[in-house]
Amino acid sequence: MLASLYSEAECIATGRRTTIFKAKSVTDAQHVVIKMHTKPYCTPKELARFHKEYNIGRDLHHSSHVVKYLSFIQQKDREGRPCCMVVMEDCGDSLQTKIPERGFSVQNFLQIGIQLTKGLRDIHKYGITHRDIKPSNIVCVNAILIV
Ligand SMILES: Nc1ncnc2c1ncn2[C@@H]1O[C@H](COP(=O)(O)OP(=O)(O)O)[C@@H](O)[C@H]1O
Ligand SMILES: [Mg+2]
């Protein structure tokens, strides 16, 4: 099913809990990021966690400073175990990969700080605390977006 929806899937990060792919939507050629559990299937608790992340993302869809969540996909593997993933728009590279060796100029530093503050403002308006702000959780195209 996934292969019929997305092509050119490439794994960009894998951790104990989640694995991240970049891919392209077959229907509209949009570049997307797919986040799924690293284990071949997920527990009900993990399923709830992914779904919660997706719901929060959807609630924040209006914000131009927060990553856009596109869909939540839930399916079963051959043994009938649950699998799920969230699909987001591809927002480019993380801030972590963009830190210059000698640090940002004051101007860039302030620009990033201002964009980041706007993202946090939008999140806090919804009563949500991010709790894990760090360069790898911040992605940047033109504006700074929070993962
Ligand atoms: N929408 C996105 N656009 C571009 N890169 C992303 C996106 N979502 C995640 N990433 C990349 O994947 C990495 C891990 O994603 P993240 O959502 O932080 O996963 P986790 O919940 O496991 O921490 C990020 O550091 C970032 O580099
Ligand atoms: Mg992260």
What are the structural domains of the chain? 2-146 (1.10.510.10)
Kindly give the number of the ligand 1 atom that is closest to the alpha carbon of 92.
4
* Under 8 Å between Cβ of 31 and 54: no
The pLDDT tens digits of the residues spanning 8-66 come to 999 999 999 999 999 999 999 999 999 999 999 999 999 999 999 999 999 999 999 99
* Closest ligand 1 atom number to CA of residue 88: 1
Distance 107 CA to ligand 1 centre (A): 26
- 31-37/82-89 β-pairing: antiparallel
In order of 18, 46, 79, 120, the CA distances from 138 in angstroms are 17, 23, 37, 11
Kindly report the average pLDDT of the chain as a whole number: 94
Q: In the predicted model, is pLDDT for residue 107 greater than 90? A: yes
H or E stretch at 36 = strand 31-37
Please, what's the b/e burial string for 106-126 (b: 16 or more CB within 10 A of its CB; e: otherwise)? eeeeeebeebbebbbebbeee
Q: Which amino acid is at 57?
A: G
Q: Is the pLDDT of residue 1 over 70?
A: no
pLDDT digits (tens, 9 = 90+) for 52-106: 999 999 999 999 999 999 999 999 989 999 999 999 999 999 999 999 999 999 9
Q: Is 45 helix (H, G, I), strand (E, B) or coil?
A: helix
